[in-house]
Amino acid sequence: MLYANPHAVRAPYPAELQDIMSIARAQESRDCLAHWNGLTPGSTPLRTLPDLAASLGVRSVLVKDEALRSSLGSFKALGAPIALVRLLLRKFVGRGFTARTLLGGEHREALDGFTAISATDGNHGRALAAAAQRIGCRCVIVLHANVSDERERAIAAYGAEIVRIAGTYDASVEEAAALAARHGWYVVSDTSYHGYEVIPRDVMQGYGTIAAEVDEVFSGNGAHTEDVCPVTHVFLQGGVGGLAAGVASYLWERWGARRPTFVVVEPVQADCLYQSAIAGRAASASGLVDSLMAGLACGETSPLAWRFLQPSIDAFMTVTDAQAVEAMQRLARGSGNDVPFVAGESGVAGLAGLMQAAATPAMASAIGLTADSRVLLVSTEGATAPSVYAELVGEPAASVTARQQAWLAR
């Protein structure tokens, strides 16, 4: 399904939004994260897939491959660490803490008694646990019933204490807030709620790194002039809205009224952003929120993210789990001109949306998708649940990577 957003505008980036998230603040986050050895040095690949573009009837398809952002295997490595660092800098004013010394583990003794807590579907909690382990503070992660044992083990490997609850992701968010209030712990969440916006803002600012790196590639290779945006369409994953807000806000500020068309894609059973667009306010999902796309199985829209999405996202789409699997298999398979690579079930939502739109004339028309379109996608994760990936794609991630190496060596 596709809903064209009547509230989307083509105008300069509003000053009231720039006060919250901006290109300058995204750069501050990048500078801070440069001190964390948990990130892979340099930018993640921006992959060009000409055969895929031809099959979809568009001019070009570019995919930003966030699976290689760090050993954590997802873009979440850009959000939780910066939010934790900034929280500690605010909490321990006057103690001489800096991003460098915190991420260097130099204040472990001073942080005795400090506990960070968060709910997660997997990737955010893993990133927070890794950052907390490096910094030297305690970390508690709340997992809901649908988070796999495999994802739990990956989080626990970084020293986090696990709390299991029944129910959905949104129930785990409530439990994390309750535990924090009861024990004096600090919530480091990627979703906002009433009275809680500073840390989700920091998380979203970290995600701006993705857009900054894309812009640097285009600026470096002369792919655009200042009058023409190098991409016409950007398809972004849904979830609570943080990634979409972080990337769209950066590109909106960068290109103003000449910004690309933004399309947000989420699972049909976890459609909180789609429902928010229809309602004209932050709203809840209409389904059971039990998607195979675990990282997007969110039932409640982040109100802070919605402040950015309502005026900037041109259309909201939903896709099925089967469509996500098809997209995973297409990227893993590669082709003569398309490098094969690993993209997880949540990471391919944008491609699943693009494939659906390209095959549906009414959808393509609604978003202006044509033979001249230049599309940007963000593959937000790799095989963060290796057994799930192998089952869905029909081969393990290592096999896909080996085929990729052979392709690159041709």
Cβ(277)–Cβ(301) below 8 Å: no
* 64 classed as catalytic: no
2 sits in which H/E element: strand 2-4
CB atoms within 10 A of CB 98: 14
- Three-class HEC string of 162-211: EEECCCCHHHHHHHHHHHHHHHCCEECCCCCECCECHHHHHHHHHHHHHH
Please, which residues bridge with residue 65 across strands?
379
Per-residue b/e over 139-152, b at no fewer than 16 CB within 10 Å? bbbbbbebbeeebb
Residue with tokens 């340099």: 42
Sequence-ordered strand ranges (E) for 213-354: 233-237, 261-267, 315-319
Query: Which residue among 65, 121, 170, 338 is the active-site one?
Result: 121
Cβ(376)–Cβ(60) below 8 Å: no
Query: Which residue among 64, 76, 190, 338 is the active-site one?
Result: 76
Say how far apart CA 336 and CA 171 lie, in whole Å: 46
* 91 classed as catalytic: no
Give catalytic residue positions: 76, 121
